[in-house]
Amino acid sequence: MIQNEVLFVIIDDLSIRKNAIQSTTEHGRNNAYQAANAVDGNITTCMRTQPIGAGTNVPDKTMWWKVDLGGIYNIYSVNILFRKYEGEGMFYDIGLDRPNNTF
């Protein structure tokens, strides 16, 4: 008798140490806000873009950050940790970019 078996693999953090880029980078000491900080596995570091209108392509109308996972995966959940800075608001609109409009 042939049995069908299903193997589930749980990947804790698919984005860890993958290639990340962002629209602009806020100026900070020791590259404090680089895109790679968002996927370095350290919750005390963060990425941060320059405010809208302050980038090199003034006036920027959008800010973005993205990570290349290096493959095609079935994604069932995404967790994002936001940091709020004193006296500043948080603006976000989350979207997924997928090749060939497929999931």
pLDDT tens digits for range 11-44: 568 899 999 999 888 888 888 899 999 999 888 8
Residue 95 belongs to some domain of the structure: no
- What pTM was computed for the model? 0.68
The parent domain of residue 33 ranges over 16-80
> Does residue 99 form part of some domain?
no
pLDDT tens, position by position, 59-84: 667 788 899 999 888 887 787 777 76
C-alpha distances in angstroms, 61 versus 12, 33, 55? 34, 20, 10
| Alpha-carbon gap, residue 24 to 10, rounded angstroms | 33
- Total count of domains within the chain: 1
Is 53 domain-assigned? yes
